[in-house]
A and B are shown apart, each in its own frame.
Chain A
Amino acid sequence: MKEYMLLFRGGLDFATVSPEVMQQSMMKWMTWMDGLKADGTYIGGERLTQTGAVLSGPQKQLSDGPYAEGKEVVAGFIAIKANDLQQAIEIAKGCPIYEYDGSTEVQEIAKM
């Protein structure tokens, strides 16, 4: 069994979205994540606020957010268990983010 990181980018624009759409979206996330928890796939995860900063270069140059355009902003991540990349991709396909103009990046977590 391997572990994979699912990185969620984009999704709902929380500045303008209505409460109704927010609730519908939340319930879809909840249904999906409850499924992952029920079959033991889910390891853990968090959602991110858009408060933060970027440090870069040898000078440790500091820049405030937003550090990416809407669709590129990382909205959250979860770690899951899967047999291989193909299965991890199948799991990621169940995520509701695509309905809200978002994307998921699937990467294997390196294990010694």
Chain B
Amino acid sequence: MPGPNQHISQLADHLFRREAGKMVAVLTKLFGTENLQMAEDVVQDTLLLAFNSWPDKGIPNNPSAWLYRVAKNKAIDRLRHNRHLLNTDPENLTETHDQPLPDIDKPWKQELLEDDMLRMMFACCHPRIPKENQITLILKTLCGFSTIEIAKAFLIPEDTVSKRLYRTKEFFRNEKVTLNIPSVNELKNRTDVILNAIYLLFNEGYNATQSEYLIRRDLMDEAMMLCHLITKNEHTRQPEAYALMALMCFQSSRNESRLSPEGEIILLTKQDRSRWDRQLIEQGNHYMNQAAYGDAVSAYHLEAAIAFQHCTAKSFDTTNWPAILGYYDWLCRIAPSPFTAINKAVAIMQVNGPQAALDALQTIAGASKFYLYHAILGEVYTRLHDYASAKISLEKAIGLTRSAPEKRILQEKLYKLLN
């Protein structure tokens, strides 16, 4: 045992969460995806042992190595007792009677652990697993979120989360999903699915539509950690991953200025730009440069380019709106969605005025279910001095959003309109 009494402050933030994700991944590779639950149980037992012994005995000199050693020993116990549970490798069928235990010592090096996390990500993002189940499983296995925490983050019943996890584990069992990095011809498509899950996870953190808090930094951090793994691996790194990383850096650079100390939304027009995180913007630029190789221009590239324009503008009015509008045009061509078209209307308003924005908004099909559509319509009508229509739009927006801070800022706008 390493010497005790390392000071508490030396224990890394999120150590348990970080290591839990790695350990679940490596153990799942060892046990097979059909035994994911067993991997999760071993990790939970391992952390519990740390919980029970570290306060009295002190933090070991190398906490991660301590955890890995305990997990390894517990895994060996499980393998001995549950050999019949393990999927027999067809090549070793002749040895079923006394099958050797898999090599349990090798995989605990940092790079290999990260490799296993990547493999686990590919399994979680199997194309036949529904998107919401992919994200749920990623959060549970790789990010160490509890069922309750996932339920809270997405404002869904705990039971729904449990069902999603159950179904995905069942899928693993039935399909005998293996933990592999996909083959070269599959790699691009499979990585795209992961990037999409990361993008959705980040967006939920950036704009926690379902929560009483507007920003869930933990979700944003997890999304960035996962994307970072993708960019670090020579097989999975691709321009899209760098572009997504850039986008996330730019977006999160504004976190500090987006909410008041009381948790109220501060609109982009009123944000204190000196509080934007220069270091994250720098990192975003760095990733942007790496995203520029090849000739692929993905939606992530364009969204990152838009975010870059905002991050580097001195003020709202001096923002390069024509450039942003150009990116939105492009974005609407390669990844058309009502949501993109609604956002584009803001750029149109800045470049061509509120009437042009209104004309554009009115042509968007399927947009009326989004609160943002009505919120922006409200703003456009206000600028056109059509206060009666503005009132109707804002009221619709208030009725459609589930976020408390969004509701409050819309109500404030409505109040100003009426007084």
Q: Given the interface contacts A31-B8, A34-B8, does A18 sit within 8 Å of B17 by beta carbon? A: yes
CA distance A49 to B48 in the complex (A): 9
Q: Which residue of A lies closest to B158 (CB)?
A: A16
Task: Please count the residue pairs between chain A and chain B whose beta carbons lie under 8 angstroms apart in the complex.
Answer: 61
Chain A min CB distance to B200 (Å): 21
CA distance A33 to B57 in the complex (A): 11
> Is the C-beta of B14 less than 8 angstroms from some C-beta in chain A?
yes
CA distance A26 to B147 in the complex (A): 20
Size category of the B interface is 20 to 34
* Cβ–Cβ contact B17 & A23, under 8 A: yes
* Cβ–Cβ contact A19 & B54, under 8 A: no
Chain A 31-43, CB within 8 Å of chain B: the 1/0 string?
Answer: 1011000000000
* Cβ–Cβ contact B8 & A22, under 8 A: no
CA distance A21 to B146 in the complex (A): 9
* Cβ–Cβ contact B14 & A20, under 8 A: yes
CA distance A27 to B7 in the complex (A): 11
* Cβ–Cβ contact A19 & B147, under 8 A: no
Chain B 19-57, CB within 8 Å of chain A: the 1/0 string?
Answer: 110000000000000000000000110011011101110
Q: Which residue of A lies closest to B51 (CB)?
A: A26
CA distance A104 to B48 in the complex (A): 20
> Is the C-beta of B328 less than 8 angstroms from some C-beta in chain A?
no
Most buried by B among A23, A27, A31: A23
* Cβ–Cβ contact B17 & A20, under 8 A: yes
> Is the C-beta of A53 less than 8 angstroms from some C-beta in chain B?
no
Chain B 119-149, CB within 8 Å of chain A: the 1/0 string?
Answer: 0000000000000000000000000111111
Q: Which residue of A lies closest to B146 (CB)?
A: A18
CA distance A16 to B44 in the complex (A): 9
* Cβ–Cβ contact B55 & A29, under 8 A: yes
Q: Which residues of B contact A20 (CB under 8 A)?
A: 14, 16-17, 144-145, 149
Q: Given the interface contacts A26-B51, A33-B55, A33-B56, does A16 sit within 8 Å of B147 by beta carbon? A: yes
- For residues 46 through 102 of chain B, which have their beta carbon under 8 Å from a beta carbon of chain A? 47-48, 50-52, 54-56, 59
Q: Given the interface contacts A27-B8, A31-B8, does A18 sit within 8 Å of B145 by beta carbon? A: yes
Q: Given the interface contacts A30-B8, A34-B8, does A22 sit within 8 Å of B51 by beta carbon? A: yes
* Cβ–Cβ contact A18 & B51, under 8 A: no
Q: Which residues of B contact A18 (CB under 8 A)?
A: 17, 144-146, 148-149
Q: Which residues of A contact B17 (CB under 8 A)?
A: 18-20, 23
* Cβ–Cβ contact B144 & A19, under 8 A: yes
CA distance A91 to B172 in the complex (A): 50
Most buried by B among A30, A31, A46, A76: A30
A residues adjacent to B (C-beta < 8 A): 14-23, 25-27, 29-31, 33-34, 45-47, 49, 76
A sample of 8 cross-chain residue pairs with beta-carbon separation below 8 angstroms, ordered by A number, consists of A16-B147, A16-B148, A18-B17, A18-B148, A19-B19, A19-B47, A47-B52, A76-B52
